[in-house]
A and B are shown apart, each in its own frame.
Chain A
Amino acid sequence: MTLKISRLALIAFGLILNSSMVRADSTLVAVASNFTKPMTEIAESFEQATGHSAKLSFGSTGKFVSQIQNGGPFEVLLAADETGPALLEKEGFVVSGTRNTYAIGKLVLWSATPGYVDAEGKILKTGSFKHISLADPKLAPYGAAAVDYLTKQGLLEKTQPLMVLGENISQTQQFISTGNAELGFIALSQVIENGKIASGSGYIIPTHEYATIRQGTALLKNGAENPAAIALLAYLKSAPALAIIEKYGYDLAK
């Protein structure tokens, strides 16, 4: 009997210890595919700096928006555009005043074959490629930016019949890296390492040649009371996080 009681007391003590002394919380974050690499790094440094942890889920912004509208458990959204977070705010899924632009994305024309894409992207006019891959412009801001660029260059008509559409920017890169499409438009962050394109060949498209990709973040109602979610949003604006964002080729919002 005494043994039983003391064991119960021990368990109770353990529970109290758990809830009062260990303050680390965990937050569930929806991250646009293009931000996969930097966010993985930011989450690590966030965990070291604050003791909280961030669980990351990667996918297209459109999918996350519809999941959040339908009761998705996400607490923070890092979208590839600002319309997603704005729509969610209008519909009451966002803690008001928490929307912010965390990065400005850069588009790159990329091929897995070294030397295939030239330094000025002339291949688009002269090349006899069979497939050009981009993210579905209806779903993905990087796809929309690619179409915008092609339109401004007068190349939409030539390239339209050759387009293969990825469901998100990661799948677009997968089509190119497996060689199934000779080249395509992806996010610079996907192929940059130490300030330059790490594999294959690519042309970083000047940012004034397509509509700016402003990537927005927001605290979702699910995370309104979660210290880890609030801390993560604050951490995104900290110097170490901004350095990681810039390292992956993004511009910072002014």
Chain B
Amino acid sequence: MLSPADLDTLWLTFKVASLSTFLLLLIGTPIAWWLARTQSPAKGFINALVSLPLVLPPTVLGFYLLILMGPNGALGKLTNALDLGALSFTFTGLVIASVLYSIPFVVQPLQSAFNSIAQQTLEAAATLRASPLNTFLSVVLPLSKSGFLTAGILGFTHTVGEFGVVLMIGGNIPDKTRVVSVQIYNHVEALEYTQAHWLAGCLLAFSFSVLLVLYTVLKTPPQVQQLK
């Protein structure tokens, strides 16, 4: 059975993933909108930057974050000056890392949803004197509903599946940074296979059900695709 400690890791993982997904949608939407509409020469550069976590090993991100967040790193110096203390080994640090790690999984579905909205539709709204914000809320949002849903689900599940970065900057602290993927790894290393099976089974069932919903109910296959 799942022990209380295991349940704690599940709850913590849920908290990290929900908060990260919320922040990702908040940050990802303007980035995706800009990428979908801009003619700027910087588009390729930003696209490449946002997609980096897709190809980088988590160890690269973990290594840089560990150095950056430490007392001698730029971010660590900043947070210390603000009296916030270092971010490594904290819940906040973990959320920041997750946002960086999952950003392409949110931006890319949004971007393709925005791409598929014709320029004429937006112009029509404008001729009807809709303000840009009004256009976004009453035209763009409804048209890209499934894009948002896909982005949210992929952002959430990808954060749940995060392991390498957490291992490197988390410090394995109960209720703060010990998420379920790390707990499974610990169980396996401590040869506690029964407990590892329970947690791993939970994650397997969860991930499969989420994808099943995406593919059957929504019928919008989630794809992290090559962008034009």
Contacts and interface: CB of A to CB of B under 8 A. Distances in A.
A138 interface: yes
Contacts of A158: none
A140 B168 CA distance: 17
B196 to A, nearest CB: 10
Given A65-B191, A66-B191, A139-B190, A179 B172 contact: no
A171 B166 CA distance: 13
Interface size class of A (residues with CB under 8 A): 20 to 34
Contacts of A60: 189
Interface string A159-187: 00001111100010011001111000000
Interface string B126-142: 00000000000000000
Interface in B178-205: 185-186, 188-191
A133 interface: yes
B156 interface: no
**From DSSP, what is the main secondary structure of chain B's interface residues?**
loop
A217 B71 CA distance: 39
A165 B190 contact: no
B188 A66 contact: yes
A75 interface: no
B189 A180 contact: no
Contact of B88 (A136, A163, A165, A180): A180
Interface string A116-145: 000000000000001101001011000000
B104 interface: no
Interface in B36-74: 66-67, 69-72
Contacts, number: 59
A180 B76 CA distance: 9
A180 B190 contact: no
Given A178-B66, A179-B70, A180-B69, A167 B89 contact: no
B173 A136 contact: no
Given A178-B70, A180-B66, A180-B88, A163 B173 contact: yes
A69 to B, nearest CB: 8
B86 interface: yes
A138 B191 CA distance: 10
A62 to B, nearest CB: 4
Interface in B150-192: 167-168, 171-173, 185-186, 188-191
Contacts of A130: 85-86
A231 B66 CA distance: 41
The 3 A-B pairs with the shortest beta carbon distances in the complex, nearest first, are A164-B171, A62-B189, A165-B172
26 contacts: A63-B189, A65-B191, A66-B191, A69-B191, A130-B86, A138-B186, A138-B190, A139-B186, A139-B189, A163-B173, A164-B172, A164-B173, A165-B173, A167-B172, A171-B168, A174-B66, A175-B171, A178-B66, A178-B72, A179-B72, A180-B66, A180-B69, A180-B86, A180-B89, A181-B89, A181-B171
